[in-house]
Each structure stands twice: as C-alpha cells, then as structure tokens.
Amino acid sequence: MPLDIDKLRLDFPILAQTVNGQPLVYLDNAATTQKPQSVLDALQHYYQHQNANVHRAAHALSGQATQEFEDARTKVATFINAPDSKQVIWTRGATEAINLVAYSFGMPHLKAGDEILLSTMEHHANIVPWQQVAAATGASIKVIPLTEHAELDLAAAADLFSERTKLLAVSQVSNALGVINPIKELITMAKAVDAITLIDGAQAVGHLPVDVQALDCDFYVFSGHKMFGPTGIGVLYGKRELLEKMPPWQTGGEMIKHVSFAQTTFSELPFKFEAGTPNIAGAIGLGAAIDYISGLDRNAVAAHEHQLMQQLVAGLSALPEVHIIGRPQAGAVSFIMDDVHPQDMATLLDMQGIAVRTGHHCAMPLMQALGLPQGTLRASIAFYNTPHDITALLTGIDKAREFF
C-alpha cells in the first residue's frame, strides 16, 4: 500500500509552518532530518519524569533512566542487526565515532609504510581524522578516484589495494551526490588483503536497510539526527574482537572499573568507550526515532522516495541551464546552474520558503575533483516530502531564473 503522506506529515510539527510568508518546503534532509512528535515527546518525558544520571544510583529515577537508555541501545543493535548491544557505542555523532576509531584503533595499530584507503567522495569527517593519524604514525593515504559518471572507480580501487593497505574508510551513500557506493565489493577487496573496514553510514540509515553482519564490516558509524532523531547522539558499531583490544579514547568517570593512584582498570564493553555523563536524552530520543521508523512500511517508504527522486531528477534535467552532478540514487541530488552562484539561487529559493543547501557539503576534495570550486546546490528528500515539494522547487528555480 502507498504511504499516506499527508497523515504522516502531521507527525512532524515543524512542517506545518511558513517561512518568508510561504509554506515551508524542506529539502535539506541530508544536513538534518525533522523530528516526529514521538521523538519530541520522548525527550520531554525524560526531562520531566526521569531526569537522573544512569548506571550509578540506586534510586527509582536513575533506574528508569538507565532502563530507557539501555533499551535504546538494544533498539539500535536490532535496527542494524548487530550481534550484541554491547557492540553499540554511544557517541556524539558519526564524526566522533570516526575519531574514536582513528585514535583508539588507528594510532596504536598503524605505522610507517602502512596505507589508509579513502574515497574521493568522503565527507571531511572521514578524511581529516585519518590525515591526523597518518601524520602521527607515518602511514600514507591513498584515494579511490571517480569514473566519468562521478562514481567510485572499482577497477582503480582494486589496483590500490595491496598488502600495505591496513584500513578502508568509505561512505555507504555520498552526502554530496546521493550516490550509493559499492561498499560490499570494497569490503570484499579489503578482506582479501586483511584490511580493517569502516563504513560511514550517516546518509544511509535514513534511507536504506542496514545489516552490519551481512556487510561484514569491522566498524559502522552514523548520526541520530539524520534519521529523525535528536542532534548530539551517534553510534559506533564495532566487531567485538576489535573493540575489546582497543584502548579507551577518553577517560574519566563511568568508563572505569577501579581507580587508585597506582593503577586504573577499565570497564567492559560498551562502557569503556563512554566516559562521563552520556547524552541520555539523546539516546532515548534516538530509540524513539527507531521505534517510529520501524513502525513504517519500509518497502512503501523506499518506493515513495524512489518516485520523488525520479521526479526531482527528471524535473531538474528538463530545466534550461541546469546540470545534475553524477547519477544520484538515494536521498540527495546536487546540481548547478550556468552563470549563477549556488548561494544566490539558494537565497532566492529561501525567499519562496524552499530550504536547500549550497556549497561544498563538507566534501571539498570531491568538489575539486569535479571542477566545482563554488560547490553545488543540493536538494535532499525524506519520506515526508511530497510531489508538491518537488514541484515547488522546480517552479521556484524557474522563477529565480527570471531574476538572473
């Protein structure tokens, strides 16, 4: 059955507002998604009725908060098919999760002569930490190039893998182009040379089913706010044998078993990576977001989003002087317009109540490779978008063209 989008949109209070006197058309979902009322209610309920620290107290509020907090961890594990919730580590987002792996796994294990393999499509969060690791350890970075269609070149990737390749870090879906990368094939290549794999799933979890066991990746990271949850909460999944060998990244309270001035012993998984008071409300809110997503017909959601993407690509392709970058497949479409700066177009669209994103999308190396120094305009969808939203964008671009 098709989704009842009008009914679902009522779950997202922010979508009912006007911007600059126009109904809001929100097409910036790759940057952050809006939150359903159930997530907002979960946050408010925690602060109104359960506000206490987790794990450390014997009183009732702490017990309730701890239960909700750990239930959320279990929901995440189920959502991505992790073998055990202890392999789910709370972080502030995908960026912190990547940094955790970079500093807790990369720094101790990599050495001069080793190679880290990235792709041209990576978000800065999956580039800069590895540059820091390479600078500190003497390892070097290799980069998978693009094909003429702005997709990862698998043949070139195969040539880059060698016995020196110790880690592959690549995104499942490009945040800038909406391209679904062939991560299963890349993971297989990595395994052939015994390289560790990290998958940045920040743009995937809101659109695609994720099964970390089927992927057989070593690490998988994502952010809650890109899948209808709160900001400031994210997830690192890791294989148990790796997580157990990795030293803590941050130290302090909560992650310890025993402390003396002579010696400190650290707690077991997942707590040894969760120093200090965690984002309790954020974790509970992410659990509520997973409950919401899990209550939807995922096949119907995928079909609806596919139709929106087709409408968006076809509509942009028909507009004079508009050029789509690459061959988008999931969530986001990047495009440029002849002789028009992306920021100028976005400003005129905003005046019509249409929210899109402009610039490099935290992917400067990708934009350099594509010869796009000013970046692009990016329209990104979620299941609560409608065909009317796409039509409004296309009409808005046409009106803005008249100005130029």
Residue 184: both structure tokens together = 């299963």
The alpha helices in 246-297, defined as continuous H runs, are: 280-294
Nearby residues of 352 by Cβ (< 8 Å), 6 or more positions away: 20, 22, 25, 392, 396, 399
Helix (H) or strand (E) holding 347: helix 342-351
- Token readout for 274 is 């969760």
Residue with tokens 């702490």: 62
Residues 47, 203: Cα–Cα separation, whole Å: 29
Beta bridge partners of 167: 116, 196
The span from the CA of 164 to the CA of 138, in Å, is: 13
C-alpha–C-alpha distance, residues 296 and 132, integer Å: 41
CA distances from 255 to 55, 88, 219, 244, 269 (A): 11, 15, 20, 13, 9
Q: Shortest CA distance to 53 belongs to which of 64, 42, 45, 44?
A: 64
Active site residues: 362
